[in-house]
Amino acid sequence: SCNDWLDVNPRTQVKKDVLLETQKGFRDVLTGAYIRLKNDNLYGGEMMWGTIEYLAQHWVVATGTTNAYLQAYNYTDGSVKDRFSAIFKTYYQTIADVNGLLEVIDKKKDIFTKGNYELIKGEALGIRALCHLDVLRLWGPVPSGEISDNKILPYVKSVTNEIHDYSTYEQFVKLLLEDLDEAERLLKGVDPILEYSIANLQDETTCDVEDDFWIDRQVRMNYYSVLALKARLYFWTQDMPNAALYAKKVIDAKDPSGKKMWTLATGVTMESGDLACASESIFGLSVYDLGKKASSSFDLTGNGIHEQSFIMDYYAFPTGERTTDVRFDKQWTSLSKNGQSIYICQKFHQLSDNPMNELPLIRLAEMYFIVMEATSSTTEANGLFSEYASSRGIATADLSSNKLRTLTKEFNKEFYAEGQMFFFYKRKAMQKIPNGKWEKDSESQTINMNMNNYVVPLPDSEINMRLN
């Protein structure tokens, strides 16, 4: 399916053939895929702090708007359909970007200098898997429910004007794992992240790499990004032993000096200007105008991307006293609107004199949450939560009781505006979710979820194409 944006006409084919005659051409195509990931329809907006967060009940909305329909899970509204159609289309356009090079890279292997074939192919496979996994998480079934043998989505591995076959859930997951396994194999032999620290790789003068294409691996699909994606996929498919295994590989990763590759961010980290904890980024995107995007997306006007005064209750839960959580003071700011305190997320705001401009898509904290939930050892879970709690300035907890409640609240605070909370609820098939604030006792503060709310319908164009 998806053939309206995967058409390959003769003119386009000629351009692609010419471009993919050189190593630089392959790099340019891969760079184009990274650029498309930053599109407003994907991680430059809708799949970070936009559409996906309204599904998680995270923002204030005006009645009668598309965002209000999203919070009501009104998937039949025309504007909602258009929004999801644009997201779906852009995912498969990105997939087409990498498929264009993956289709021919093996035939052109001799044009690459040492390591570049493996690096480019491994990154491309990882990006293809990243996009397909989020397509599955949004349009696929609730993973803990009954999985049918029906064909649900296309796993696209070629660029063609023919209609792509659809896969069953099991087939789709199998293809995802195949891509990630191959990406892991390719990158394991060449990725500079296995030879240098992140700090060294942020400065080409401190490491002996081929050229600057090999640096800044934390904002590229690196070896550990692939391991983290495997942890996320296994977690989604309820394979807890493998989810914990791969997440721990990332948590325990060390640079050549023996130091941890990544450590959890603290209040000091955020004080330095890293409000989004990009220092924890296993995989992210470099967004040159991230500060501008944040200023326009998180304000009191127009966009509705702001929190109500209940954010104080959320962070103060359960004591009612002012929180010691470093994220409250660093990642939120209070303003007044119509005499009411409004809390605005400032996670992606940048220091004007030292902007990081990094948008983290997979962070170390997620790996901690995966192990804390997936491990069979309460001791291990409590140990990791203690580390996490210390970094965030919160009290530790015994996860042998109220584990789901504790992790749900902390995951929600941790990944506000990062597009992960709706997927948390869906993975757990939660029948009640907070109505914008942490559930205390009142039923009015929660929403009753129908399992159909978790499965976004395919775009009409896809349905019509398959019927015809």
Tens-place pLDDT, residues 75-113: 999 999 999 999 999 999 999 999 999 999 999 999 999
pLDDT level of residue 351 (50, 70, 90 thresholds)? confident
Distances (CA, A) of 352 to 218, 291, 303, 430, 434: 22, 8, 23, 41, 35
Inform me whether the pLDDT recorded for 5 exceeds 50: no
Per-residue confidence (pLDDT) for residue 378, from 0 to 100: 96
Rounded to an integer, the average pLDDT of 327-334 is 89
Residue 198 has pLDDT above 60, yes or no: yes
Q: Which residues pair with 167 in a beta bridge?
A: 153
Angle 400-418-451 from CA coordinates, rounded to 5°: 65
The burial class, CB within 10 Å (0-12 / 13-18 / 19+), for 404 is exposed
Beta strand 446-448 with 432-434 is antiparallel
Dump pLDDT digits (tens) for 250-269: 999 999 999 999 999 999 99
Confidence band of 128 (pLDDT split at 50, 70, 90): very high
According to DSSP, the residues that pair with 358 across neighbouring strands are 286
Half-sphere exposure of 59 (CA within 13 A, CB side): 32
Tell me the β-bridge partners of 340: 337
Distance CA 138, CA 141 (A): 8
CA dihedral 202, 205, 209, 211 (to 10 degrees): 90
Q: Would you state the pLDDT for residue 209?
A: 80
Place of tokens 């084919």: 13
Say whether pLDDT at 304 is over 80.
no
* % pLDDT > 70, the chain: 89
Per-residue pLDDT reduced to its tens digit, 389-439: 999 999 999 999 989 999 998 999 999 999 999 999 999 999 999 876 554
The structure tokens 């295994």 sit at 245
Residue 18: per-residue pLDDT: 78
Distances in Å between the Cα of 402 and the Cα atoms of 46, 215, 385 are 32, 43, 13
Question: Which segments of 393-456 does DSSP mark as H helices, in order?
Answer: 403-414, 421-428
Please identify which residue in the block is written with the tokens 């609240």.
409
Asked if pLDDT for residue 450 goes beyond 70, the answer is yes
Q: Which two tokens stand for residue 432?
A: 């009640």
Among the residue ranges 181-185, 195-199, 205-209, 251-255, the one predicted with the least confidence is 205-209
Q: What is the mean pLDDT of residues 7-14?
A: 39
Q: How far is residue 114's CA from residue 120's CA, in Å, rounded to a whole number? A: 11
Whether 166 has a pLDDT exceeding 90, the answer reads yes
Got the DSSP string for 352-390? TTS---EEEEEEHHHHHHHHHHH-S-HHHHHHHHHHHHH
Mean pLDDT to the nearest integer, 292-315: 71
Task: List, in order, residues 6 or more apart from 430 with CB less than 8 Å away.
Answer: 408, 449
Q: pLDDT value at position 272?
A: 92
pLDDT of 1 over the 60 cut: no
Contact 228, 362 (CB under 8 A): yes
- Whether 315 contacts 413, CB under 8 Å: yes
Q: Distance between CA atoms of 156 and 150, rounded to whole angstroms?
A: 17
pLDDT score of 437: 56
Q: Please tell me the predicted confidence (pLDDT) of residue 463.
A: 84
With a cut of 50, say whether residue 12 has pLDDT above it.
no
Question: Bigger pLDDT: 122 or 312?
Answer: 122
Q: What does the pLDDT look like over 131-164, one tens digit per residue?
A: 999 999 999 999 999 999 999 999 999 987 777 8
- Residues in CB range of 97: below 8 A, 6 or more apart: 29, 32, 33, 36
CA distance 343 to 296: 16
What mean pLDDT value characterizes the chain? Answer: 89
* Nearest alpha carbon to residue 2 among 162, 113, 122, 127: 162
Residue 51: C-alpha distances to residues 40, 79, 180 (Å): 11, 12, 27
Q: What is the pLDDT of residue 302?
A: 55
